[in-house]
């Protein structure tokens, strides 16, 4: 059963390429990855030494925010300011029926680690203010507070599927009339916990990740934020807002297969895609390209390739696929938001960004991976974005082209 679509009218982003949507777009089109050596914390003792770190904040991004904010809060606040300006909305939404739906995995974990190191260190002292935004809900709450959101505020922390699930929750709230406008996004920062944790699973490549390459050996971690202004069609029309893209449907499922490995047959993510297509009232034939989860781990990419074959059948090898993670790393809880945002830009500008990565595309996977240079898709009307998570949670969304940006 399908429901009403929602208008995406503003975008904001912070990424390893810099602060802002245009820095991100230039970066992903360049084919040059933002994954490289980094300095967020001393990682000399780690097995791998690369990540996509956000460059130092420009002066304007630090202005006006309190000192007791986490890095992830700051990324999110910068992204929302950009998104609201792009949507021609005021910085405060007190007078609107607005909600916020966010994805985050670790929130202020980087600051929590500083606290823990102090508390357990030789002086056994630490500033409690480091924990002000400790939880995954920290960045979303900071945005809601700053923007005067009075409606539902909800952070979903379902690992790498979080932000796409947040898109689903937002779309449901818009359809139900609970809100007329939703801030949807995610924010996560680099931290030792996730860097060491994924290393412990031997899930991190020693070089920048190489999704869908024969030589792929794992993911790369990134940090940043993405924010999408999503509103009801009537709200966008009433405001005369420019519609960058339509959020037509979101689907979710669970593999119920393994705590860390995806269902190798791709059945779980295929069911999420089927649910998203049904929610959008469309069919696989109408999808022009896919922004896949594409972590670069051998298991994920193989499962996703099978998913594409399940969903598209014989057409799977002809549907352009791209992985944003090869450019900016894996944003974990925020991945679904930044990848949906890139998909919106790709639809609006008729270009599918390439998937950087050394090596040769794994021919056994049978997919049409966009590599080397952007692929022009001027007639593309509809795209999918997919995410798979620890524990088997899957989510997918269907986006359709709005007006030309």
Partner 1 sequence: MTPRVAVTGVGAVGAFGTGSDALAAALAGHAPAPAAVDRSAGYHRPGGARRARLAVGVDLSALVPPAQARRMSPPARFAMAATRLALAEAGLAGLPAGGHARTAIVAGTAFGPAQVTEQLLRQIFGQGPEAASPALFTESVASASSSHIALALGARGPNLAITQREASDLLALAEGVRLVATGAAERAVIVVVEEMIPLLHAVLDRFRALALPGADGEEVARPFDRRRSGVVGAEGAAALVLEPEAAAEERGARALATVAATVRGFDPSAPAWDWGEGDAGLARRLARGLARAGVAAGSLDLVVSGASGARRGDRLEAAVLGRLFGGAPPAVTAPKGALGEYGGGLLAAAVLVAAGRALAPTLGFAEADPALGLSPVVAGPLARPRRLLVSALASGGAAAWAVLDAVEPRPARAV
Q: Is 80 helix (H, G, I), strand (E, B) or coil?
A: helix
Which of 393, 396, 398, 405 lies at the binding interface for partner 1 (CB under 8 A)? 393
Taking the C-alpha atoms of residue 240 and residue 127, their distance in angstroms, rounded to an integer, is 47
Q: Is 141 in the site for partner 1 (CB under 8 A)?
A: yes
Q: Is 258 a catalytic residue?
A: no
163 contacts 335 by C-beta, under 8 angstroms: yes
Rounded to a whole number of angstroms, the minimum distance from the CB of residue 231 to partner 1 is 17
Report residue 374 as tokens: 């952007």
Q: How many residues are given for the chain?
A: 405
Q: Is 128 in the site for partner 1 (CB under 8 A)?
A: yes
What separation in angstroms does the CA of 354 have from each of 31, 320, 363, 372, 387? 6, 10, 17, 6, 18
What separation in angstroms does the CA of 29 have from each of 26, 90, 210, 284? 5, 30, 16, 26
Q: Which is nearer to partner 1, 63 or 120 (CB)?
A: 120
Q: Which stretch binds partner 1 (CB under 8 A): 31-39, 173-181, 212-220, 315-323?
A: 173-181
Rounded to a whole number of angstroms, the minimum distance from the CB of residue 245 to partner 1 is 22
Considering only residues 78 through 117, tell me which ones interact with partner 1, judged by CB under 8 A: 94, 99-100, 105, 113, 116-117
Which of 72, 149, 167, 326 lies at the binding interface for partner 1 (CB under 8 A)? 149
27 contacts 328 by C-beta, under 8 angstroms: yes
Which of 28, 147, 371, 380 lies at the binding interface for partner 1 (CB under 8 A)? 147
Rounded to a whole number of angstroms, the minimum distance from the CB of residue 99 to partner 1 is 7
Q: Which stretch binds partner 1 (CB under 8 A): 166-174, 232-240, 347-355, 369-377?
A: 166-174
Considering only residues 299 through 338, tell me which ones interact with partner 1, judged by CB under 8 A: none
Report residue 358 as tokens: 């050394």
Nearest to 294 by CA among 195, 364, 370, 225: 370
Please tell me which residue in 160, 191, 209, 397 is annotated as part of the active site. 160
Considering only residues 200 through 239, tell me which ones interact with partner 1, judged by CB under 8 A: 200-201
387 contacts 339 by C-beta, under 8 angstroms: yes
Rounded to a whole number of angstroms, the minimum distance from the CB of residue 386 to partner 1 is 15
């Amino acid at each position: 059963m399908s429901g009403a679509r929602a208008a995406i009218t503003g975008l904001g982003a912070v990424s390893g390429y810099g602060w802002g949507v245009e820095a991100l777009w230039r970066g992903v089109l360049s084919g040059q990855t933002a994954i490289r050596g980094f300095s967020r914390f001393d990682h000399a003792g780690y097995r791998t030494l690369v990540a996509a770190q956000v460059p130092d904040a420009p002066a304007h991004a630090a202005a006006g925010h309190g000192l007791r904010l986490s890095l992830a809060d700051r990324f999110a606040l910068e992204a929302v300011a950009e998104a609201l300006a792009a949507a021609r909305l005021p910085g405060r939404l007190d007078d609107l029926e607005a909600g916020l739906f966010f994805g985050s995995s670790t929130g202020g974990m980087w600051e929590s680690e500083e606290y823990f190191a102090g508390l357990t260190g030789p002086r056994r002292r630490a500033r409690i203010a480091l924990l002000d935004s400790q939880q995954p809900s920290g960045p979303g709450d900071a945005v809601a507070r700053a923007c005067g959101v009075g409606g539902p505020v909800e952070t979903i922390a379902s690992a790498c599927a979080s932000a796409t699930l947040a898109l689903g929750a937002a779309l449901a709230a818009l359809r139900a009339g609970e809100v007329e406008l939703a801030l949807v996004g995610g924010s996560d920062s680099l931290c030792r916990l996730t860097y060491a944790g994924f290393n412990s699973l031997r899930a991190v490549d020693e070089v920048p990740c190489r999704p869908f390459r024969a030589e792929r050996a794992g993911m790369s971690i990134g940090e940043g934020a993405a924010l999408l202004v999503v509103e009801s069609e009537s709200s966008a029309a009433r405001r005369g807002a420019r519609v960058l893209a339509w959020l037509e449907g979101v689907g979710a499922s669970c593999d119920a297969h393994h705590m860390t490995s995806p269902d190798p047959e791709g059945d779980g993510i295929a069911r999420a895609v089927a649910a998203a297509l049904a929610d959008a009232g469309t069919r696989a034939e109408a999808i022009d390209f896919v922004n896949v989860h594409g972590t670069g781990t051998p298991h994920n990419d193989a499962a996703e390739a099978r998913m594409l074959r399940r969903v598209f059948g014989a057409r799977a090898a002809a549907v352009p696929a791209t992985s944003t993670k090869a450019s900016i790393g894996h944003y974990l809880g925020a991945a679904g938001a930044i990848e949906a945002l890139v998909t919106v830009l790709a639809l609006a500008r008729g270009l599918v960004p390439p998937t950087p990565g050394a090596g040769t595309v794994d021919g056994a996977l049978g997919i049409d991976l966009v590599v080397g240079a952007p692929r022009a898709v001027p007639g593309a009307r509809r795209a999918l974005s997919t995410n798979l998570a620890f524990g088997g949670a899957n989510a997918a969304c269907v986006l359709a082209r709005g007006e030309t940006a």
